[in-house]
Structure 1
Amino acid sequence: MRSKKALRNISASFVLQIVVAISGLIVPRFILTAFGSDVNGLTSSITQFLSYIALVEGGIAGVTRAALYKPLAENDIKQLSIVTKSTEVFFRKISYFFLLYIFVLMIFYPLIVENSFDWFYTSSLIGIIGISTFGQYYFGITYQTLLQADQRQYIANYIQVVTIIINTIIIVALISFGSSIHIVRLFSATIFLIRPIVLHFYVNKHYSLDKKVKSDNNAVSQKRDGLGHHMAYFIHSNTDVVILTLFSSLYDVSVYAIYSMIVRSITNIVKIFSSGIEAAFGNMISNNETENLKKSFTMVDTGSSIVTVTIFSTAIVMILPFVQIYTTGVEDTNYIRPAFAYLILLAEALYSMRLPYQSIALAAGKYKETKKGAYIEAVSNILISLIMVNLLGLIGVAIGTLISMLFRTLDYMLFAINNILHFKKFYLVKRISTNISIFVIVYGLSLFIGINNIDTYIDWVIKALVMTLIAGTISVAINFILYSEDFKKLLNIFLNKSSIKD
């Protein structure tokens, strides 16, 4: 059953990320050509400032998942209802606070960019973009968290696929008809209210939750310990844009947004293969399946490494030719930034490599034990970025992200093998050495082949497929030699010849 759910989640995540990637390419391109880099930078910056309300959440969603694994495994409806109700009450309070935050932002944020846009233009745009985030907190996060813990994330993903497709079609149509950015974002925000509302009704229909239970602040006991993890992830995802808004320009924000869109799409593809894994690990831990947990982890780690190294080694070669084609005709700023591109790709590659280790640590509920590393990651990212942005601009914030990501990845890896899996450190040395070696081999071959003179999307796609095939073949071959048992188990699961024991 766990394997079937995991495969469903992987399939749904794959569909979602393909749709997200396609939409992520189409929408910014239309905005860039219709409104310019400064408007694209403005909307990206506003979105990131609005997302700071997530700090108030304090990581409660992840901690809630950990608290839900046991009652789901034991079919304890009462405890399941208490945890869900307590979380729902918490997020409803955040949604009200968010309304106040939007109001404050509408007053003061326009002063930051007053040299580029007038106060009312910016203030009204903030209010419009904030609508969908409010709906997410008021209606959807609690129920999405429940579905994730129950290995049914595929439900939320398919709903998201539909809303993204509708949103993309409407945005393209509105821009084509000459609508203003305010009208475009208003329709977009309204469409994204669909998802949390549908999730709300789905969970109420399919789960026998007791609506009469009282919320209990102790039901999610590690919510304070989850704050560090939440801050680290949030800063990783959002701080760079805010720092660039304050200390650089909206044009640099636009450049960052384009590269970030590409790199995050790549990361999300890697995440597909760890989709639902945390919930599966949590179920094994709740049932004390120690040996099964270890075997499953090494298999997942091997699969995740193959995908991560294949995709990111290809991306390092192909990202600059893609950006050059993508930004053709947009001449108000320079989008070809090689050093920045390589640094941000390496940072995200490190993040992707740590996902299996992070998943097993959080599935075990080790928020308190790992929060120190999370705080160090968050603080180091901010401090290094603030110091370097005035010296190196975009490259400076990328360096801050890379250094903090390297620390946190090693921290998660060491914690997982020492405290949960009880592996020897050689396991980690072998895994890291294998991944680095594949990166070096693939990049060396790309220099020998000579990937250049790419002028069209078709040409880019052909050469990207060639590079992916080369990188994938090398990655699979080396992992098959060094991790043959894990590779065979992984292959058997995808061929539906075996499964993780229930």
Structure 2
Amino acid sequence: MRSKNSIKNIIVNVGSQLFSILLSFLCRTIFIRTLGEAYLGISGLFSNILTLLSLAELGVGTAIIFSMYKPLAQNDRKKIGALMALYRRAYHTIGLIVGIAGLAFTPFYPLFIKNDPGIPDLTVIYLLYIFNTVITYFFSYKQSIIMADQKNYICTLYQYGFCILQNILQIAILFQTRNFILYLCVQILFSFFTNFFLARKADKMYPYLKQYEKEKLSKSDKSSIIKNIRAMFMHRIGSTVVNGTDILLISRFSGIVSVGIYSNYYLITTTLRGLTSQIFGGITASVGNLGALEDRKKSYDIYLSINFACFWIFSFCSISLFCLFNPFITLWTRRENLLFALPIVFVISLNFFVTGMRQATLTFRDAFGLFWYDRYKAVLEAAVNLIFSIILAQRYGIIGVFIGTFISTMTIDFWVEPLVLFRHGFHRPVRTYFARYLYYSVLTGLVGYFTYLCCSLLPDAGFSAFAVKGVICLLVPNTVYLVLFWNTREFQYLKGFVHFPKSGKE
């Protein structure tokens, strides 16, 4: 059953997102041509400010979803009802806190805009971003039980279904009115629809929630959840600072137009990251269920295969990003002034790889509930990232921001996260992980360099040249990896994973 749910989650998640991506890129193309880079930069800036304000979430969602794995596996409805009631109260409170914090920050957001972009009603636009964020907290909590029950594909169908409708309507508005505020109002409306109808779906799927919504958790359960929330809060600080401050720093040191340029690269990397997270997100609940019911030996064997898949996916994507980033943006936007220099493109692609290589480890850490053991890591990571990014940005500009992110990842996350998982999750020495990581990284570098040399023989512009480069990026890395890994245990496991096992337990 775990593998069936994982496969179903992955197929629906990836398929839905691929279609949504096409519409999103079409919407972004029309956005650039109708509103321009300044609006693009403002959109990225305000989104990042709200990401920082969402620290109020404290990691409540991850902690409570982890707490649901065991009662769902054991069909303990009273405990599930009590957990959902706690989740509801927490998220309603968080929504109010984010709203108040966002309003209080209103006088200060202009400090992050280096030059006046000449956009009217900036404060109204900022307030709309706040409202869009706040309303999600009043309904989105009900999605948690669906995800914890290994049915993430249901959430995906709702989310991307409404996302597709939203993009279609936004495209029409951009063509007809070129009105950014109306564009945002549509986004708010569909955010509400997505969360409202998912909440109704959860009520229908789990009708017993209302019956047990007044149940109370035991002191030990509350203590365990609070402990995990405290740990997750620190993790939220680290991830939010690392992922949410790049655009703020670029805006502060290079200007809002540079943010607009970066937002295209950011859109592509976040789109790819979204696709890959759908794959790994589709198996997280199954790993949590596995951890609740099975021994760690089996979990470790599965981890090795998922870590191998992680390497293959992110190695291929990172190589393709480095070779195709600028040709794609030129082809897409028809503007060469929206390109970064190759060294900046390299560091963005490198960060994508090293961040992606953490995915398998983080998936198992979250599923096993090991948040507490590396809680201080996140705070240290945030400090290192901010210090190096600011220092290097002042001296080297935009590339300094991205190098700061790379330094924080490799000096902190690289060794702490696997150490925690192997020591407290698998109870094994971690040296095998580092040996594999080194091998995978060197192989990615060599294959990537050869792929880039092949692509560099072709012209920089033109659809035909881009298409041939795309074929090179598709064939070279994947052919090499197929030859090298075909007979490995990890690859054979992944081959079997895509077929539904006969055992209902699997």
**If the TM-score is normalised by the length of the shorter chain, which range does it land in?**
over 0.9
Q: Distance in 1 between matches of 2:172 and 2:247?
A: 28
Residue 295 (structure 2) aligns with:
289
| 2:66 counterpart letter in structure 1 | A
Residue 385 (structure 1) aligns with:
389
Residue 143 (structure 1) aligns with:
142
Query: Once the 2 structures are TM-superposed, how far is the Cα of residue 111 of structure 1 from its aligned partner?
Result: 6.0
Residue 59 (structure 1) aligns with:
59
Residue 262 (structure 2) aligns with:
256
| 1:153 counterpart letter in structure 2 | N
1:229 is paired with a residue whose SS is helix
Task: State yes or no: 1:489 paired with 2:493.
Answer: yes
Match of 1:315 among 321, 326, 330: 321
How do residues 129-168 of structure 1 correspond to structure 2 at under 5 angstroms? 129-140=129-140, 142-168=141-167
2:426 is paired with a residue whose SS is coil
Q: Which moved more, 1:275-284 or 1:67-76?
A: 275-284
Give structure 2 stretches of 5+ with no counterpart: none
Q: Distance in 2 between matches of 1:241 and 1:447?
A: 28
Task: State yes or no: 1:417 paired with 2:417.
Answer: no
Q: Distance in 2 between matches of 1:314 and 1:119?
A: 36
Residue 220 (structure 1) aligns with:
225
Match of 2:486 among 480, 488, 501: 480
What do the CA deviations read for 1:37-73 (whole angstroms, capped 9, x no partner)?
1111011101111222210111111111211111111
**CA RMSD for the aligned pairs?**
2.3
Q: Distance in 1 between matches of 2:336 and 2:60?
A: 41
Match of 1:211 among 185, 210, 213: 213
Query: Once the 2 structures are TM-superposed, how far is the Cα of residue 360 of structure 1 from its aligned partner?
Result: 1.3
Q: Distance in 2 between matches of 1:338 and 1:91?
A: 43
Q: 1:378 to 1:105 in 2, by over 3 A?
A: same
| 2:423 counterpart letter in structure 1 | N
Task: State yes or no: 1:375 paired with 2:379.
Answer: yes
Residue 466 (structure 1) aligns with:
472
Query: Are the counterparts in 1 of residues 38 and 256 from structure 2 also a CA contact under 8 Å?
Result: yes
Residue 33 (structure 1) aligns with:
33
Give structure 1 stretches of 5+ with no counterpart: none
Q: Distance in 2 between matches of 1:181 and 1:330?
A: 25
Q: Which moved more, 1:274-283 or 1:485-494?
A: 274-283
Query: Are the counterparts in 2 of residues 10 and 276 from structure 1 also a CA contact under 8 Å?
Result: yes
Query: Once the 2 structures are TM-superposed, how far is the Cα of residue 99 of structure 1 from its aligned partner?
Result: 2.4
Query: Once the 2 structures are TM-superposed, how far is the Cα of residue 165 of structure 1 from its aligned partner?
Result: 0.8
Query: Once the 2 structures are TM-superposed, how far is the Cα of residue 118 of structure 1 from its aligned partner?
Result: 6.4
What do the CA deviations read for 1:165-200 (whole angstroms, capped 9, x no partner)?
111111211111133111111122212211111111
Query: Once the 2 structures are TM-superposed, how far is the Cα of residue 24 of structure 1 from its aligned partner?
Result: 3.8
Task: State yes or no: 1:280 paired with 2:282.
Answer: no
Q: Distance in 2 between matches of 1:268 and 1:167?
A: 18
Q: Distance in 2 between matches of 1:242 and 1:375?
A: 19
Q: Distance in 2 between matches of 1:495 and 1:300?
A: 16
Query: Are the counterparts in 2 of residues 304 and 353 from structure 1 also a CA contact under 8 Å?
Result: yes
Residue 443 (structure 2) aligns with:
438
Q: Distance in 2 between matches of 1:498 and 1:172?
A: 46
Q: Distance in 1 between matches of 2:4 and 2:232?
A: 29
Count of residue pairs the alignment pairs up: 497
Q: 1:136 to 1:182 in 2, by over 3 A?
A: same
| 2:358 counterpart letter in structure 1 | R
Q: Distance in 1 between matches of 2:348 and 2:249?
A: 16
1:496 is paired with a residue whose SS is coil
Q: Which moved more, 1:105-114 or 1:427-436?
A: 105-114
Q: Distance in 2 between matches of 1:382 and 1:23?
A: 35
Q: Which moved more, 1:409-418 or 1:72-81?
A: 409-418
| 2:77 counterpart letter in structure 1 | I
Give the TM-score of the pair, scaled to structure 1.
0.92
Residue 94 (structure 1) aligns with:
94
Query: Are the counterparts in 1 of residues 234 and 379 from structure 2 also a CA contact under 8 Å?
Result: yes
Q: 1:135 to 1:456 in 2, by over 3 A?
A: farther
1:396 is paired with a residue whose SS is helix
Q: 1:249 to 1:426 in 2, by over 3 A?
A: same
Match of 1:232 among 228, 232, 238: 238
Q: 1:219 to 1:368 in 2, by over 3 A?
A: closer
| 2:143 counterpart letter in structure 1 | Q
Q: 1:265 to 1:388 in 2, by over 3 A?
A: same
Query: Once the 2 structures are TM-superposed, how far is the Cα of residue 101 of structure 1 from its aligned partner?
Result: 2.8
Q: 1:198 to 1:54 in 2, by over 3 A?
A: same
| 1:446 counterpart letter in structure 2 | T
Q: Distance in 2 between matches of 1:348 and 1:490?
A: 23
Query: Once the 2 structures are TM-superposed, how far is the Cα of residue 457 of structure 1 from its aligned partner?
Result: 4.3
What do the CA deviations read for 1:129-150 (whole angstroms, capped 9, x no partner)?
233212211111x122222221
Q: 1:265 to 1:54 in 2, by over 3 A?
A: same
Q: Which moved more, 1:16-25 or 1:290-299?
A: 16-25
Q: Distance in 1 between matches of 2:112 and 2:355?
A: 31
Q: 1:337 to 1:29 in 2, by over 3 A?
A: farther
Q: Distance in 2 between matches of 1:419 and 1:219?
A: 17
Q: Distance in 2 between matches of 1:443 and 1:411?
A: 27
| 2:425 counterpart letter in structure 1 | I
1:193 is paired with a residue whose SS is helix
Q: 1:117 to 1:426 in 2, by over 3 A?
A: closer
Q: 1:114 to 1:383 in 2, by over 3 A?
A: closer
Q: 1:431 to 1:114 in 2, by over 3 A?
A: closer
2:280 is paired with a residue whose SS is coil
Query: Once the 2 structures are TM-superposed, how far is the Cα of residue 350 of structure 1 from its aligned partner?
Result: 1.0
Residue 201 (structure 1) aligns with:
200
Query: Are the counterparts in 2 of residues 263 and 348 from structure 1 also a CA contact under 8 Å?
Result: yes
What do the CA deviations read for 1:263-290 (whole angstroms, capped 9, x no partner)?
1222223323322332222212212422
| 1:418 counterpart letter in structure 2 | R
Q: Distance in 2 between matches of 1:448 and 1:84?
A: 54
Q: Which moved more, 1:20-29 or 1:395-404?
A: 20-29
Query: Once the 2 structures are TM-superposed, how far is the Cα of residue 323 of structure 1 from its aligned partner?
Result: 2.1
Q: Distance in 1 between matches of 2:62 and 2:392?
A: 32
Residue 191 (structure 1) aligns with:
190
| 1:186 counterpart letter in structure 2 | C
Q: Distance in 2 between matches of 1:248 and 1:500?
A: 56
Q: Which moved more, 1:47-56 or 1:94-103?
A: 94-103
